[in-house]
Amino acid sequence: MTTRKSTALALTLAAALPALGLVPTAAAAAAATAPGAPVAPSAASVAAAPAGARLHLAAPRDAHNVGDVGEAEPAAPAGGPLVNGGGPVQTAPQIYVDYWGWTSDPAGVAPYLNQFYSSVGASPWLATVQQYGADSSPNLLAGTWSDPAPVPAVPTDAQIQAEAVSAAQHFGAAASVNTQIIVATPTGHSTAGFGSSYCGYHGAVAAMPSITYTDLPYMPDAAGSCGAGSANGSGGTLDGVSIVAGHEMAETITDPLSNGWRDTGTGAEIADKCAWVNIGDTNLSGNTFAMQPLWSNNSGGCSMGSGSWSTWQQRTTPAPGIAAGASPVVSSWGPRRLDMFVRGKDGAIWHQPYDTTGAGWYPWESMGGNFVSNPAAVSWDSSRLDLFGVGTDGKIWHRYWNNPGGWGSWNVDFATPPPGLASGATPTVTSWGTGRLDLFVRGKDNAIWHLDYSNGWSTWESLGAKIISDPAATSPNNGRIDLVGLGTNNNIWHKYWTPGTGWTSWSPDLPALPVGIAPGSSPAASLWQPNADDVEVYVRGKDGAIWNSLYSNGSWGAWSSQGGALASNTTAISPGPNLIDLFAVGTDGSLDEKLWA
């Protein structure tokens, strides 16, 4: 991005850095948001700013450094999703590393860097760029060159670009947007500001505007200021090499000419939004490197690509607060579209939608009504959303949204099951195809009762068993339903239905939860995309954490803890391939979310 030298000095740090195509890290971000007078970047820093985007340094490795054990890491910059500015992306990047004027390599940077570029191309970490129309290949590293030409003690950006031209000519590199020239300067030789205001930067070569370049100084010279020890403590001298190289590489792939994918609100690129957040070791083709996450529009957060759980994060609650004992429920009618519902202290059902088109979470809205149960919700396609709840009159009420009609009114469309509803019962609903609903609820006889809709409501049928919890149901593929509930032995029981076999018998398929199931808890179930038959079950343990078990290839896996200090049942949804969202009410009354992406 072109540096706006004439105006940058008048901006505060928080505003100036995005204007320059720069995003602050831990220390700079903290300074920008702390009380007191705004701080502008120095004249030297602005004058040295290149035409590309720059990774700012981490905090010095002191009491406020990034990556210390037990230290809370900074959140990614606020803002919305990445938006394409109309420019190209790299679909077949080729990386050429120019070791300019290297006469020594005391920390062993060169072999580490070569191995990194040779390993990262086919990794799940870099596959995050594919959602932006970009791509990579297993053979990213196209060549290396040790240019014996002397390098200035403090090379200017113009000299870095001139060296990139020399390297492109040496390699015979194509004059293509897919060409990346990495100008790696030796120990003791770096552009002004390295280690004090930035760690690396990238941009387009002015003399060869379709070719990109990266200024990659000798990271160990900056020690902890540019990532050394961020993942591996005293043994992580080279941590910053892969962190910074990966940061600049991913941004070059998705924003090579500074008009590609950026957050239009902050100017941040794919790696800026996650800079110095959740640094960790990542396996790349059998080799381990310290890495930062990349921003994923698909998951709405920072992702290591191979799939990992976020920490529990607090979300807003509806205006009246959440009713005592209430649990949220969530539905999805499209990729990364969520509709969350929860009962408020006023007895009404409250609704909050989420999407990734730029709005994120919308404000809460009241759906009205006077309910004594948690809601149940499902979408059979993008034009329909059905909502159910038990009213104070003991009846199951229903309303639905369709496109373009919007929300209808609450109605009682059918009677309750013959034995009546169990005290405190909450219904659950699933759909295995357009125009199809399957509703389940526990009766006073503790059996699970089933009602289906297909051009009209059926009559109730008993599915038997003695269940002491609310049921959970999901449809992992067209024509299958999985149903789980807590039996009188306090273990989770399971049955499923297919068109060919009908309902199976109830079976205690799932292993016993190691910590035991919290009294009064009910399980949740979600499909696991992209595998059509995989189902994940979640339940709150006696330790207050959420635990999960995956059904795959005909058997249930061992339980895993997702932590948390939760007071409610959880709800789970898979709004897209390799995505799972969990929501629950915390012991402090907060609405908490945890994401796998």
Higher pLDDT, 29 or 87: 87
Domains 83-303 and 465-596 share a fold: no
301-354 tens-digit pLDDT? 788 886 677 778 889 999 999 999 999 999 998 776 899 999 999 999 999 998
Give the Cα separation of 501 and 592 in Å (integer).
Answer: 39
Question: Which has the closest alpha carbon to 50: 188, 233, 248?
Answer: 248
The pLDDT of residue 533 is 77
- The pLDDT assigned to 360 comes to 75
Dump pLDDT digits (tens) for 371-389. Answer: 999 999 999 999 999 999 9
Which pairing describes strands 481-486 and 472-474: parallel, antiparallel, or unpaired?
antiparallel
More confident residue, 495 or 30: 495
Q: Is the pLDDT of residue 232 over 80?
A: yes
How confident is residue 105, by pLDDT bands cut at 50, 70 and 90? very high
Q: Are strands 53-55 and 22-23 parallel, antiparallel or unpaired?
A: parallel
Contacts of 589 (CB under 8 A, 6+ apart): 317, 321, 322, 567
Does CATH number 2.60.40 belong to domain 83-303?
A: no
CA-wise closest residue to 216 among 107, 114, 97, 112 = 97
- For residue 168, what is the DSSP state? H
CA distances from 576 to 331, 332, 375, 560 (A): 12, 9, 23, 22
Percent of the chain with pLDDT over 70: 84
- CA 433 remoteness from chain centre: 28
* CA atoms of 318 and 591, how far apart (whole Å): 10
Tell me which of 407 and 278 has the higher pLDDT. Answer: 407
Fold (topology level) of 465-596: Neuraminidase (2.120.10)
Question: Taking the model in full, what pTM does it have?
Answer: 0.62
Q: Structure tokens of 75? A: 């959140």
CB 78 within 8 A of CB 258: no
Residue 83: what pLDDT? 95
Flag whether pLDDT at 166 surpasses 50: yes
Angle at the Cα of 472 from the Cα atoms of 467 and 474, rounded to 5 degrees: 140
Least confident of 133-142, 296-305, 369-378, 510-519: 296-305
Domain boundaries, the chain: 83-303, 465-596
Whole-number average pLDDT of the chain = 85
